[in-house]
Amino acid sequence: MGNFVVADLTGLVRIIKRNLKKIQYRPYLIDGCLARTGLTIEHPLNT
């Protein structure tokens, strides 16, 4: 989300929500970010 300029808080919230919505439907992005940390996501249905 770098290189965004917003005039007010409402604009910032709109950009953040839009980008989070994109990530919501691409779970592999989160898995990719965690891969190098050694952390894992434990899904509630797999407990």
Dump pLDDT digits (tens) for 20-33: 898 888 878 877 87
Residue 22 is assigned to a structural domain of this protein: yes
Helix, strand, coil abundance in the chain, percent, nearest 5: 60, 0, 40
Q: 30: domain range?
A: 9-37
How many Cα atoms sit within 13 Å of 36 on the Cβ side? Answer: 3
Dump pLDDT digits (tens) for 1-47: 667 788 899 999 999 999 889 888 887 887 787 787 887 777 777 55
Domain count, the chain: 1
Whole-model pTM over 0.85: no
Residue 42 is assigned to a structural domain of this protein: no
If one counts every other C-beta atom within 10 angstroms of the C-beta of residue 12, the result is 14
Residue 26 is assigned to a structural domain of this protein: yes
